Amino acid sequence: MRRAKISYAGRALWADLLDDDVLRLADGTLLPAEAAVWLPPVEPNATVFALGLNYADHIGELGFKPPETPLVFLKGSSAFVGHGGVSPLPVGARQMHPECELVAVIGRPARRVSRSNALDYVGGYTVANDYAIREYLENYYRPNLKVKSRAATTGLGPWIVDARDIGDPQDLTLSTRVNGQEVQQGSTRDMVFDVATMVEYLSEFMTLMPGDMILTGTPQGVHFVSGGDEVVCEVEKVGRLVNLVEVGG
């Protein structure tokens, strides 16, 4: 099952995607998918975590050593934009690049869970495009607010896929295309800290709640975008997230 958050008739609503063309609202109303505006499928009160340097191939590409413990940071809610939305390329920036990521969505409260059963607490998965702007990075070990919580620079969606429909989250391919050209390709097998490890790690010192999200990092492939570019991030079995880039912001 795929669950999407949409804007329709002036309201933000959750809907089930019955197929690629039809949405079913909570009251049973069927709606053509083209009639809706896609919103980021995140709850207003959710905590959103993100990982840096979590793919072995990307770490090698940057010339670093793998971190000994997860490099985790938080993202502000205004950073997100839905499927088909626009992300601003700051005026004067020349080094903004997309980062395709698998996102794990917590399905039930998790506190001090073990890695062996951590995936039982994951309710679903979605896709993120977590843009980085290298001019604004302090360093690779400290992604700062000006980069990672910048308004509308993290595409999210189009929907959340039930975890039961995904199976093993550590055997999925990821790819990014810019104007049809593949610029990023990898596999979740290359994660340094896998999804189960992250649920265990975070739940050791805090309680993860339904709707909380973990952006799990990105594979190798650095490609700088320009205004007018169409960026497509895709995760196998999960979805295809389309995002547009415009100068400004």
State pLDDT tens for residues 48-94: 999 989 998 888 887 788 889 999 999 999 999 999 999 999 998 99
One domain, residues 96 and 108:
yes
Report the pLDDT value the prediction gives residue 40, as an integer from 0 to 100: 98
Domain count, the chain: 2
Residue 57 CB coordination number (10 Å): 15
Q: What is the mean pLDDT of residues 143-148?
A: 75
Residue 15 bridge partners (DSSP): 4, 25
One domain, residues 73 and 136:
yes
Q: How many angstroms separate the CA atoms of 39 and 200, rounded?
A: 29
Instruction: List the CATH number of the domain containing 160.
Output: 3.90.850.10
Instruction: List the CATH number of the domain containing 3.
Output: 2.30.30.370
One domain, residues 34 and 65:
no
One domain, residues 29 and 48:
no
Q: Is the pTM of this model over 0.85?
A: yes
Helix (H) or strand (E) holding 148: helix 145-148
Q: Which domain holds residue 5?
A: 1-39
* Residue-wise burial string across 21-52, b where 16 or more C-beta atoms lie within 10 A, e elsewhere: eebebeeeeebebeebebbbbbbeebbbbbbb
Q: How many angstroms separate the CA atoms of 237 and 248, rounded?
A: 33
